[in-house]
Amino acid sequence: MAEARPARLFASWALTLLAAVSAAQAAEHPVVALPNGYYVERDRSAQFRIVKGHDRAVVGPIAGYAVYGVVVTGLVGNEKPPAGAYPNESPLPESSQSDYFVLDTTSGRIETGLSASALKARLAAAGVSAAPSIRAPIL
């Protein structure tokens, strides 16, 4: 029985060390989780992008995004959010260019180069009745 105590103590220290290393790595590389294993992260040039798996970019750079169930939509580009206390307080203004995307996280199907009207049509087809409220990411 005396040998079990050092083994437990060692296991406890090992788990504590593992948790500390994991927390340090997470603090160095913050992400925003999206449905089905996708996430938003900053790339090396500090621009936001949507990624699946280990550093496999799906779309980016993105100026903003919105999540509706398993559907993620957003605006491609480097547009700056409106001035304010927090970048995601207000939705991004509607873009006149064809810079929108729709990502179905269940199937992995992504459509890019959509106009604002095409975006609304794609969202309606996906069962999203609300007008898109695309906001800048915060990380």
Whether 40 and 75 share a structural domain: yes
Whether residue 136 lies inside any domain: the answer is: no
pLDDT of residue 83: 63
pLDDT of residue 26: 46
Q: How many domains does the chain have?
A: 2
Name which of 104, 91, 30, 26 is nearest 64 in CA terms.
91
| Other residues' Cβ atoms within 10 Å of the Cβ of residue 52 | 16
pLDDT of residue 136: 86
pLDDT of residue 77: 87
Gap between the Cα atoms of 16 and 8, Å rounded: 12
pLDDT of residue 24: 45
Whether 9 and 65 share a structural domain: no
Domain hosting 11: range is 1-29
Whether residue 67 lies inside any domain: the answer is: yes
Task: Answer for the pair 25, 11: CB distance below 8 angstroms, yes or no.
Answer: no
pLDDT of residue 119: 93
Query: Block means of pLDDT (10 residues each) for the chain, length 139 residues?
Result: 60 58 56 93 89 85 93 86 65 81 94 93 89 83
pLDDT of residue 37: 93
Whether residue 91 lies inside any domain: the answer is: yes
Structure tokens at 82: 């409106």
